[in-house]
């Protein structure tokens, strides 16, 4: 009798574990921005930027160099346009700290995010930024699509921001 109960309990546990994994996998595929997971999201999503292959006709609109905030961040950010669509591109020299959970790439209204906020975390105010996507990887070239509903004239900087702790890792003033 006890063996029968143990078998039933074991099979029930296996079925529940399988269901939990399937639900988790489906949720991750449906809403990558809503996930509160450590970055990088997936190595298959973060493909290196090869400008000549991916954006042969792209035009640089604005660009700038990252300034460190709470953590060392370096490299260049550019807003480019191709076929009526805008993209934020981080170049090969981009690098930021791996210490933050829930890092996202944002566009910010200020032209000097780091100096307009207070150390040590350089917190941001709601309404001053737009979240493009979770950071794909901590270093190297990467590209983020900018929705067409965004008025680029309203945003003067790109930044790497830790949503969970409201900490700005670094920001780049985007000039013409």
Would residue 58 count as lying in a domain?
Answer: yes
Are residue 97 and residue 167 in the same domain, yes or no? Answer: yes
Q: Where are the alpha helices (DSSP H) in 31-166?
A: 51-54
Residue 166 lies in a domain: yes
Domain-located, residue 87: yes
Predicted TM-score (pTM) above 0.75: no
CB atoms under 10 Å from CB of 53, counted, come to: 7
The answer to the question of residue 149 being in a domain is yes
36 part of a folded domain: no
Q: Are residues 89 and 140 in the same domain?
A: yes
CATH code where residue 62 lies: 2.60.40
Quick check: is 120 in a domain? yes
Selection from 130, 45, 144, 44 nearest residue 94 by Cα: 144
Helix (H) or strand (E) holding 161: strand 157-162
**Co-location of 3 and 58 in the same domain:** no
- Domain interval for residue 93: 51-173
- Locate 64 and state its tokens: 């700038």
pLDDT one-digit tens code per residue, 37-89 = 333 333 334 333 444 334 456 788 999 999 999 999 999 999 999 998 999 99
Read off the pLDDT of residues 13-32 as tens digits, 9 standing for 90 and up.
556 545 444 433 333 433 33
């Amino acid at each position: 009798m006890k063996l029968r109960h143990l078998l039933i309990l074991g099979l029930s546990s296996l079925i529940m574990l399988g269901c939990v994994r399937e639900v988790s996998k489906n949720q991750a595929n449906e809403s990558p921005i809503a996930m509160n997971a450590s970055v990088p999201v997936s190595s298959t999503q973060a493909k290196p930027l090869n400008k000549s292959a991916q954006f042969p006709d792209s035009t640089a609109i604005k660009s700038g160099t990252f300034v460190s905030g709470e953590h060392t961040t370096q490299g260049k950010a550019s807003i480019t346009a191709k076929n009526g669509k805008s993209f934020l591109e981080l170049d090969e020299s981009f690098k930021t700290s791996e210490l933050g959970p829930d890092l996202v790439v944002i566009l910010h209204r200020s032209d000097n995010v780091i100096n307009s906020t207070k150390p040590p975390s350089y917190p941001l105010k709601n309404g001053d930024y737009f979240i493009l996507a979770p950071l794909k990887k901590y270093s190297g070239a990467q590209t983020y699509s900018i929705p067409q509903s965004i008025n680029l004239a309203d945003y003067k900087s790109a930044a790497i921001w830790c949503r969970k702790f409201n900490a700005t890792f670094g920001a780049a003033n985007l000039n013409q």
